[in-house]
Amino acid sequence: MARKDRLSGNEAVAEALRQINPDVMAAFPITPSTEIPQYFSKYVAQGKVDSEFIPVESEHSAMSAVIGSQAAGARSVTATSSAGMALMWEELYLAASNRLPCCLTLVNRALSGPININCDHSDSMGARDAGWIQIYAENNQEVYDNLCMAYPIAEHKDVQLPIMICQDGFITSHAVENIILNEDEEVKNFVGEYNPEHCLLDPECPTAVGPYSVTNYYFEAKRAQAEALKNAKQVTLDVAKEYAKITGREYGLFEEYMMEDAEYAVVIIGSAAGTTKEAVDRLRKEGVKAGLIKIRLFRPFPGEEIAEALKNVKAVALMDRTESYNDCCGPLGAEVSTALYRANAKALAVNYVYGLGGRDVKVSDMVNIYNELQKIAEEGKVEEFYRYYGVRS
């Protein structure tokens, strides 16, 4: 039977990990994800989990330890943010290319410099092509639920890839919300035991992890890895369907909010989706047909499905909480506009960079975005595709 509690996003992650009871956590502290290993190490010390907690000297070492333990057949996890992820860079690619279904709980924080400890998506978006599954949350409930579903997705026989569960720094990681927790036994049964087909400690099947790949094999390995990431889309849906059976909480690749008859839409990731929903509700009362698509699964990207959801929209704003420095588009802008182009969609699209370094996003800001979309639709053209919202000139 489910139980209610008041937890921060970081506490929700630690609680989910306690219920999952991974074999190994290796971690190094960095704001704002420090609390996750802090809380979990207490569970280890108190004997509430059977996990081995490995304190290391850097984030590079944390991911290295996770790769080693996962390769040995142990379900493994770490947590980090911002520059901590940057220090893991080499290891992120190794975890994915070696097909190791470990988990990284990422608390999104601006990547230096200038030094900033607040939320944007520059850390995870910088790693979007590392070959990891990426799932984002709007609130603390979703952070918890996403982590409960993480291992069944990553460990599926058709996937076997690492997974990144993302939440917005401080906005969700430290804010306390009412959430519903599953019973321990429910999570244990849902996640199941980790029984890898091959691992380093299997004496019956000697295995090498991370050997040098000559030209004759490297390309094929990457192609197989890409196919596994594509498989993760359907597996994510399948796992969510099973999760809904025990919790009643339903998840898809993305959430559609008031999209049935929407003429103006925003596509967004993370906590700002909640703010945008308030703007949609306000505009709907005024007779404006506003809608929202909140991305949950960013890698693999559900391009065809999003284009289908936007097929009747007149104008759409693609909201990036990071800067790509290409003077063309942001990561989300690139993905969605490509999907719209391939689908021959008629929607006029505009790409906004917003909220960098934790810059506030208010309901009135999102109302202004919808007002601009109405103006674009009326004029029938987009003068400037790549824009900045909320920055002082």
In the predicted model, is pLDDT for residue 1 greater than 80? no
Q: What are phi and psi of 284, to 5 degrees?
A: -60, -35
Q: What is the pLDDT of residue 127?
A: 97
Q: Is CATH 3.40.50.970 the classification given to domain 3-247?
A: yes
**Residue type at position 345:** A
Reported pTM? 0.97
CATH class of 254-388: alpha beta
Percentage of the chain beyond pLDDT 70 is: 100
Kindly give, in sequence order, each residue whose CB lies less than 8 Å from that of residue 218, ignoring residues fewer than 6 positions away. none
Helix (H/G/I), strand (E/B), else coil: 229: helix
More reliable by pLDDT, 219 or 206: 219
In the predicted model, is pLDDT for residue 185 greater than 90? yes
Q: What is the pLDDT of residue 173?
A: 98
Q: What is the pLDDT of residue 200?
A: 93
Partners of 348 in beta bridges: 315
Q: What is the pLDDT of residue 82?
A: 98
In the predicted model, is pLDDT for residue 152 greater than 80? yes
Helix (H/G/I), strand (E/B), else coil: 69: helix
Q: What is the pLDDT of residue 113?
A: 86
In the predicted model, is pLDDT for residue 210 greater than 90? no
Domain borders along the chain are 3-247, 254-388
In the predicted model, is pLDDT for residue 8 greater than 80? yes
Instruction: List the structure tokens of 115.
Output: 């030094």
State mean pLDDT over 137-144: 98
In the predicted model, is pLDDT for residue 97 greater than 90? yes
| Cis check: omega of the bond before 274, within 30 degrees of 0 | no
Same fold, 3-247 and 254-388: yes
In the predicted model, is pLDDT for residue 236 greater than 80? yes
Q: What is the pLDDT of residue 245?
A: 97
In the predicted model, is pLDDT for residue 218 greater than 90? yes
In the predicted model, is pLDDT for residue 393 greater than 90? no
Q: What is the pLDDT of residue 350?
A: 98
Q: Are 21 and 103 in contact (CB under 8 A)?
A: no
Q: Give the pLDDT confidence of 281-311 residue by residue, as tens digits.
A: 999 999 999 999 999 999 999 999 999 999 9
State mean pLDDT over 13-41: 98
CA distance 98 to 105: 19
In the predicted model, is pLDDT for residue 232 greater than 90? yes
Q: Are 48 and 18 in contact (CB under 8 A)?
A: yes
